[in-house]
């Protein structure tokens, strides 16, 4: 199946030569795994977030064609999302997802790669790169609305309130995007709704909100000197060149979090996009593409 990116929403001056996007499947250790693929050259892996209805298509379609002009782009559906099998590891959800991603990249013959992680995707990248034994060989890393304390309080409750209806999905889009035009876009809302209501998708995502008895909760690990108590990521352990991108009007993250994350990661860059919410790669596709492509094109230090 071939999908051509809409040049109106992709942004950038390279729209007249956008790469074609292929919808592909791979068997990864018995797991049917879906991913989008486009372009040639240095590998670039796009990791979508974890909101209701998010997958490679809904998170990245308007920007893949531009990014793939210079890169071999792979945008997988995480384990449990999109068209990938709905499997949830309740003992180590993130660890299982990272292991599955690493296995997919091996299956595709991809070793070292640039990687971009949106929200949950960026959080998983941070966990991997700050860990003792990273599974992913990352050359350059771009975070999109990732890092800082996890979504909590009223924002977390608002995410949990999705009831499976179109209007409830419209409320989810309204929460994530600063520009009300996105929530008014019936086609976009319908696409997110379709992904959120695939067989198994609702149950997989809803399991994130299952209550855990106090006695069964693991003791919190002490935070390092470079992380606030509510944000235990040891950012100083990250050694890959990093660009932190964020929307200035993000309702899901605390004000100023992106600057604090960028300051905590050695030599990280920061790009904040005015008038954007949690998805600046969509709300500011042109400027976001330019910032990311410029960063990825820099010579190794």
Summarize pLDDT for 159-188 with one digit per residue, the tens: 888 999 999 999 999 999 999 999 999 999
Burial of 191 (0-12, 13-18, 19+ CB in 10 A): middle
* Domain CATH for 27: 3.40.50.1820
Residue 224 lies in a domain: no
* Model confidence pTM above 0.85: yes
Calculate the alpha carbon distances from 275 to 11, 47, 249 in Å: 16, 23, 6
Whole-number pLDDT of residue 11: 37
Alpha-carbon 127 to chain mean position: 13
Residue 219 lies in a domain: no
- Nearest alpha-carbon partner for 146 in 24, 2, 276, 243: 243
Q: What is the rounded average pLDDT of the residues 259-280?
A: 97
Whole-number pLDDT of residue 3: 24
Whole-number pLDDT of residue 299: 73
Residue 204 lies in a domain: no
Whole-number pLDDT of residue 163: 93
Calculate the alpha carbon distances from 274 to 9, 138, 227, 271 in Å: 18, 28, 26, 10
Higher-confidence position of 9 and 282: 282
pLDDT at 75 > cutoff 80: yes
pLDDT tier for residue 153 given thresholds of 50, 70 and 90: confident
Residue 273 lies in a domain: yes
pLDDT tens string 206-224: 887 776 565 555 555 554 4
Residue 255 lies in a domain: yes
pLDDT tier for residue 9 given thresholds of 50, 70 and 90: very low
Whole-number pLDDT of residue 15: 45
Name the domain count of the chain.
1
- Nearest alpha-carbon partner for 130 in 14, 246, 242: 242
Nearby residues of 181 by Cβ (< 8 Å), 6 or more positions away: none
Residue 94 lies in a domain: yes
Residue 275 lies in a domain: yes
pLDDT at 14 > cutoff 50: no
Cα–Cα dist 278/105, whole Å: 27
pLDDT tier for residue 113 given thresholds of 50, 70 and 90: very high
pLDDT tens string 22-44: 999 999 999 999 999 999 999 99
Cα–Cα dist 149/230, whole Å: 6
Residue 165 lies in a domain: no
Whole-number pLDDT of residue 218: 55
Mean pLDDT of the chain: 88
Whole-number pLDDT of residue 151: 77
Q: Determine the structural domain holding residue 98 and report its residue range.
A: 2-152+234-297
In this structure, of 88-92, 185-189, 226-230, 295-299, the range with the lowest mean pLDDT score is: 226-230
Q: Percentage of the chain with pLDDT > 90?
A: 78
Burial of 93 (0-12, 13-18, 19+ CB in 10 A): middle
């Amino acid at each position: 199946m071939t999908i051509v990116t809409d040049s109106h929403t992709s942004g950038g001056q390279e729209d007249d030569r956008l790469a074609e996007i292929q919808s592909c499947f791979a068997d990864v250790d018995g797991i049917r795994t879906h991913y989008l693929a486009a372009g040639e050259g240095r590998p670039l892996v796009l990791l979508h977030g974890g909101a209701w209805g998010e997958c490679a298509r809904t998170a990245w379609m308007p920007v893949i064609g531009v990014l793939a002009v210079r890169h071999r782009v792979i945008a997988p559906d995480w384990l449990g999302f999109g068209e990938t099998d709905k499997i949830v590891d309740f003992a180590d959800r993130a660890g299982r997802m990272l292991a599955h991603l690493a296995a997919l990249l091996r299956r595709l013959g991809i070793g070292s790669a640039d990687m971009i992680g949106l929200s949950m995707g960026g959080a998983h990248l941070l966990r991997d790169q700050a860990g003792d034994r990273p599974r992913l060989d990352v050359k350059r890393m771009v975070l999109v609305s990732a890092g800082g304390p996890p979504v909590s309080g009223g924002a977390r409750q608002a995410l949990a309130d999705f009831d499976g209806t179109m209007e409830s999905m419209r409320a989810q889009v309204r929460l994530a995007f600063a520009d009300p035009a996105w929530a008014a876009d019936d086609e976009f809302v319908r696409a997110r709704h379709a992904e959120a209501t695939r067989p198994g998708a609702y149950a997989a995502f809803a399991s994130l909100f299952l209550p855990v008895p106090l006695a069964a909760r693991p003791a919190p690990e002490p935070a390092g000197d470079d992380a606030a108590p509510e944000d235990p990521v040891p950012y100083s352990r990250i050694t890959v060149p990093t660009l932190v991108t964020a929307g200035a009007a993000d309702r899901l993250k605390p004000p100023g979090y992106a600057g604090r994350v960028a300051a905590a990661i050695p030599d990280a860059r920061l790009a904040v996009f005015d008038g954007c919410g949690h998805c600046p790669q969509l709300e500011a596709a042109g400027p976001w593409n330019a910032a990311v492509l410029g960063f990825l094109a820099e010579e190794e230090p």
